[in-house]
Amino acid sequence: MAPLLLRVELTPVKRGSPKHRSIRRRQSQRAPGIGEAAPVRRLAPLPQPDGSLSAVEVHIFPEAMRGTGEGHYPWDLRPQSTMTNANVEQVGATVDGRTLTLKYKDGEKKIFVPADTPVVIYEVGDRTDLKPGAPVFIVAVKQPDGTLEGRAWRVGRNGAWQ
């Protein structure tokens, strides 16, 4: 199932000061090397009827983002979806994918990753990545004057979010 993309006109968002701004490129990648002791991973798993978790997306973070949003919590990607931000501790191969054991500060999750799961990597970006028509995800903070200040900007490239 392709992700649902909405284009919404919102109040303009100011770029945060360099102290607060984080721009990252989100790029599609095929068959990444997901191995033990790997860089930080983000998985968006859905609960299965048997209680297990199956990923619908995998994100690979650069080392500088280690600890970002660490944990397992509800997410709004799809109904009943969750987000697990953690480090890969163990990888198990199956006929139709992999099972990852992910550890984070307060726990551990085992998540099945089907072979056809979309995978994206995050890279350091800059202002030149913010172009008209580029798909973006912005974490913004409302300021006392009512404006929004973008703190975390994620810009899709090479098929990410398309």
Q: What is the pLDDT along the chain (162 residues), one digit of tens a residue?
A: 333 333 334 445 555 544 445 556 555 555 455 655 555 567 778 889 999 999 988 888 777 778 888 899 888 778 888 888 888 888 888 888 889 899 998 899 999 989 888 887 777 777 788 788 888 877 788 889 888 887 777 887 766 664
**Token digits of residue 72:** 């397992």
Domain assignment present for residue 108? The answer is yes
Task: Give the helix/strand (H/E) hosting 46.
Answer: strand 41-47
Domain count, the chain: 1
Domain assignment present for residue 144? The answer is yes
Side chain identity at residue 69, one-letter code: G
| pLDDT for the residue 33 | 56
Q: Give the whole-angstrom CA distance, residue 122 versus residue 68.
A: 12
Domain assignment present for residue 109? The answer is yes
Angle at 22 between CA 141 and CA 127, to 5 degrees: 110
| pLDDT for the residue 123 | 77
Domain assignment present for residue 6? The answer is no
Domain assignment present for residue 123? The answer is yes
Q: Give the whole-angstrom CA distance, residue 82 versus residue 74.
A: 4
Domain assignment present for residue 152? The answer is yes
- Domain that includes residue 59, residue range: 13-157
Domain assignment present for residue 47? The answer is yes
| pLDDT for the residue 29 | 56
| pLDDT for the residue 53 | 92
Sign of CA dihedral 102, 105, 108, 113: negative
Domain assignment present for residue 42? The answer is yes
